[in-house]
Amino acid sequence: MALTPPPHDATTNPFLLIRSISSSNNAMLSKEEEEEEKENNKGEPHTNNLCAVINHYIHTLNHFNLRNLGYPLNQNFNYDALAPLLRFHLNNAGDPFLGSTVCLNSTSFEVSVLDWFANLWEIQNNKYWGYVTTGGTESNLHAILLGREKFPDGILYTSQDSHYSIFKIARMYRMQCVKVGTLVSGEIDCAELKASLLAHKDHPAIINLNIGTTMKGAVDDIDLVIQTLEKNGFSRDRFYIHCDGALFGIMLPFLKQAPKISFKKPIGSVCVSGHKFLGCPIPCGVVITRKEYMNTLCRDIEYIGSRDATITGSRSGHAPIFLWYAITKRGSLGLQKEAQSCIRNARYLHNRLREARIGAMLNEYSNIVVFEKPLDDEFSRRWSLACKGNIAHVVVMQHVTIEMLDLFVAEFLQKRSFWWFKDYGSSFQPRCIADEIGAANCSCSMHSLLS
Ligand SMILES: *Cc1c(COP(=O)(O)O)cnc(C)c1O
């Protein structure tokens, strides 16, 4: 998920400033010249310059954060207590459960984080394997590799609303990928899945399920998918299910009556991003799978004194500590409160938009509010909205306050009337987005008459 950088002019662009400082820094100085430089630079003006660049950058980031609505990145955190760790390079190369000969590692934190997620998704400590990845994408890469190694001739099924990483992975692994249609909510259409499965009955099924689609926050129905598989001749030894829970994988377990993500069901793996709900300052993620799937994948590597079981070699040793800190500091109760508050605030935004007769949709266990795409890209950029086709969304994360939402709605309404007037005169009606969010949620002239 790329955040659009705030606009800079040439004089305030911190990157240009960084470049000009770097180019004046001659790396080829002799000893004497270096001494002379130091003498000339009493009071370390060079370091002061660097600080100024960083401070300026922080200023633009703070400014940007005031209207950061469109991506599922929690900005409400404080890791100041971990700052002393930046004096160490921490590297978790290898299998977190086996340790390695690279001593500066944080695998004890990593395993404790993994145990926590294993418990959350209901698999015993001695039955699971997993690791802390660079993000949801690497978690998906690993999980789908497990499925493919289990079923080398398997076909990958995933809904059209899946994250773009899934289609990339299918290409990377040269797997046949069947794109399945979705319901208006965004969840996978099991009738269509059934037809696709029956059309490829001879091949095992590797299924990617979205536990929260990126755009609409729809949760694929794990139980219904399993039922569809089993009823149509796919016994448990002929399918592998991966649950892509990038955002909701950690939220649903804390919401009453939400669908359950559990290894008591015949699923093969679950993943989550660490920088989304948990709010890590660097991208990271978690993948958990059943231990039994790992054997085909691993190789012993003498050089690191460990087992090679992961996608990347060197792995961040800081990321697991950030995750550990995020989870431990808040505890289950704190996480539950945050999840509930995100959902509550998302419902607030949804109601405000509907009251203003703006077509909008919100799935039941979701903090992603989908609505008509603003007519002006400048407005979307200003609020960092993610858009796709005729729709846009706001992801109500922990840093998003009611005040921010009020401000957003007020500005949207004000601009919207202006866009209408400018482009269409006063008779303009919102375009129809019933195909995207359903007739009942649409506010175009035809559908608003129906409601
Ligand atoms: C965000 C997201 C991912 C992975 O994203 P990363 O940026 O690699 O962490 C995967 N799947 C879904 C459904 C997502 O929303």
Q: Which of 12-16, 209-213, 347-351, 392-396 has the lowest mean pLDDT?
A: 12-16
Q: What residue's CA is closest to ligand 1, atom 6? A: 136
Same domain, 358 and 409: yes
Residue 143 shares a structural domain with residue 57: no
So what's the pLDDT on residue 344? Answer: 98
Within 6 Å (CB) of ligand 1, which residues are found?
1, 135-137, 163, 165, 210, 212, 214, 244, 246-247, 273, 283, 285
- Rounded CA gap, 182 and 142, in Å? 25
* Averaged confidence pLDDT in the chain: 90
- Among 366, 380, 384, 443, the active-site one is 366
Q: Is 100 a catalytic residue?
A: no
From ligand 1's centre to the CA of 233, what distance in Å? 31
Residue 55 shares a structural domain with residue 78: no
pLDDT at 428: 60
Residues 320, 221 share a domain: yes
Question: Which position has the higher pLDDT, 317 or 43?
Answer: 317
Range of the domain at 305: 72-451
**Co-location of 59 and 78 in the same domain:** no
Q: Which of 137, 243, 366 to mutate to test the pocket of ligand 1 (most atoms within 8 A of CB)?
A: 137
Q: How far is ligand 1, taken at its centre, from the CA of residue 213, in Å?
A: 9
| 45 and 150 in a common domain | no
Same domain, 258 and 165: yes
Q: Given pLDDT bands bounded at 50, 70 and 90, which one contains residue 7?
A: very low
- Percentage of residues of the chain with pLDDT beyond 70: 88
Q: What is the pLDDT of residue 91?
A: 95
Q: Are 407 and 432 found together in one domain?
A: yes
Q: Is residue 3 part of a domain?
A: no
**Cα(280)–Cα(273) distance, rounded to whole angstroms?**
9
State residue 425's pLDDT score: 63
Could you read off the pLDDT of 139-189 as tens digits, one per residue?
A: 999 999 999 999 999 999 999 999 999 999 999 999 999 999 999 999 999
C-alpha of residue 304 to centroid of ligand 1, in Å: 30
Are 56 and 181 found together in one domain? no
Q: Output the residue whose Cα is nearest ligand 1's atom 2.
A: 246
Query: Do 59 and 152 share a domain, yes or no?
Result: no
Query: Is 364 part of any domain?
Result: yes
Distance 13 CA to ligand 1 centre (A): 29
Top pLDDT among 47 and 255 is at: 255
Q: Does any domain span residue 430?
A: yes
The total number of structural domains in the chain stands at 2
Domain co-membership, 56 together with 161: no
Query: What is the signed CA dihedral for 168, 170, 171, 172, rounded to 10 degrees?
Result: 80
Of 28, 47, 65, the one marking the end of a domain is: 65
Question: Does residue 89 share a domain with residue 48?
Answer: no
38 Cβ contact list (under 8 Å, min separation 6): none
Q: Which atom of ligand 1 is nearest to the CA of 135?
A: 9
CATH code (residue 429): 3.40.640.10
